[in-house]
């Protein structure tokens, strides 16, 4: 109960913090099959020849670094989402202070396109895993190269899709231990897709001067993830209250229905001159899977039935 009581306080505190840039959450998945494995200790020792394996992780398309030297762009990998698994056991990334892991796009670099999983945004040096070998951490070295017409830009959202052997010129997927490659994986395909939306529109807007105010939630609500609850189409330069709750027992409110209830102390602010209020935030750690966040805005609005318009309510659910 203490966690559920403190969560909204932490949630509101992050809303009041310096705004962060929120983008679309994208999941990257490599699929392959183990060809050889000379590692004995678990968990990598439990990857057997013939096992189907996947490498998956999440990215935010707004969090990236451009190379100053080459047509490459590295999107920062969410460390906690990284998983190399055979369906039974999984291996994660070495925790900080190890170097930042990236998923790198190459566009005409030169005359070829492709993808790297690397701590270097220009070269395929791989990423350190949580398990140590004889020469330091095991390194997951994964990269694929295609012809130069595969990608049209370094924009991650333009690269959504599945990539297999069509147009493939070079691939490498090994788990390295110093100069050796004790695990070799045969690449099968790569999928880049938008992560399933953690937010749903629950309705119950109440019109004002601009019609119905619109609230949109975005982000996957995982621990430490960048999310947003963005208001638009509201009365301009108006006092507004943000209501947050962990459940919904709708109650009548100013001629409409307030969905977040029982709610915590509202966040009072002002809409912009065009009637919007973008509100990115970082999700606090510690929320159990399936925790609900109900959010709705009330806006002072002389054109509304009782002088207050309501946005639609949105519900976010933690993974």
Kindly state the tokens that stand for 27: 């999941």
Q: What end-to-end distance do the CA atoms of the chain give, in Å?
A: 19
Kindly state the tokens that stand for 147: 């012809």
- Which H or E run contains 143? strand 136-147
Distance between CA atoms of residues 43 and 290, nearest Å: 29
- 87 Cβ contact partners less than 8 Å away, ≥ 6 residues apart: 51, 52, 54
Strands 72-77 and 102-106, by their bridges, are antiparallel
pLDDT at 1: 24
Low-confidence ranges of the chain (pLDDT < 70): 1-23
Find how far residue 36's CA is from the centre of its chain. Answer: 33
> Facing residues of 203 across strands?
313
Q: Compute φ and ψ for 79, nearest 5 degrees.
A: -55, -45
Strands 226-232 and 214-218, by their bridges, are antiparallel
pLDDT at 269: 94
pLDDT at 153: 96
Q: Between the CA of residue 247 and those of 75, 160, 207, 316, what are the distances in Å?
A: 35, 35, 24, 11
Distance between CA atoms of residues 139 and 173, nearest Å: 10
Phi-psi region of 211 (alpha: psi -120 to 50; beta: other; left: phi over 0): left
Strands 251-253 and 256-258, by their bridges, are antiparallel
pLDDT at 18: 44
Whether 229 and 201 have beta carbons less than 8 Å apart is answered as no
Provide the Cα torsion 238, 202, 206, 213; round to 10°.
Answer: 40
Q: Convert the pLDDT of each residue in 10-69 to its tens digit.
A: 566 655 554 445 567 899 999 999 999 999 999 999 999 999 999 999 999 999 999 999
Whether 105 and 115 have beta carbons less than 8 Å apart is answered as yes
pLDDT at 261: 95
pLDDT at 3: 34
**Token pair 């119950």 in the structure block, residue:** 204
Kindly state the tokens that stand for 282: 């970082």
Q: Where are the alpha helices (DSSP H) in the chain?
A: 2-16
Domains of the chain and any CATH numbers: 25-194 (no CATH), 197-317 (2.60.40.10)
């Amino acid at each position: 109960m203490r966690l559920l009581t403190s969560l909204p306080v932490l949630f509101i505190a992050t809303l009041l913090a310096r705004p962060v840039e929120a983008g679309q959450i994208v999941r990257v998945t490599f699929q392959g099959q183990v060809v050889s494995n000379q590692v004995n200790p678990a968990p990598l020792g439990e990857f057997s020849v013939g096992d189907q394996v996947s490498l998956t992780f999440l990215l935010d398309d707004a969090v990236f670094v451009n190379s100053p030297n080459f047509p490459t762009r590295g999107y920062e990998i969410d460390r906690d989402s990284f998983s190399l698994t055979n369906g039974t056991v999984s291996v994660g990334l070495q925790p900080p202070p190890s170097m930042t892991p990236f998923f790198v796009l190459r566009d005409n670099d030169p005359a070829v396109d492709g993808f790297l999983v690397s701590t270097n945004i220009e070269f395929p040096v791989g990423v350190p895993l949580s398990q140590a070998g004889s020469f330091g951490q095991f390194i997951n070295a994964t990269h694929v190269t295609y012809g130069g017409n595969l990608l049209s830009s370094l924009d991650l959202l333009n690269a959504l899709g599945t990539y297999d052997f069509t147009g493939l010129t070079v691939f490498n997927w090994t788990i390295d231990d110093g100069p050796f490659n004790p695990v070799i994986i045969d690449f099968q395909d790569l999928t880049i897709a938008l992560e399933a939306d953690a937010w749903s529109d629950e309705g119950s807007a109440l019109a004002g001067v601009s019609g119905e105010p619109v609230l949109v939630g975005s982000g996957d609500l995982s621990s430490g993830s960048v999310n947003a609850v963005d208001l638009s189409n509201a009365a301009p330069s108006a006092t507004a209250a943000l209501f947050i709750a962990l459940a919904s027992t709708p109650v009548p409110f100013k001629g409409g229905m307030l969905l977040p209830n029982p709610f915590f102390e509202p966040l009072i602010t002002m809409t912009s001159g065009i009637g919007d209020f973008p509100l990115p935030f970082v999700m606090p750690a510690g929320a159990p899977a399936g925790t609900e966040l109900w959010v709705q805005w009330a806006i002072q609005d002389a054109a509304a039935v009782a002088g207050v318009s309501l946005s639609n309510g949105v519900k976010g659910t933690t993974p």
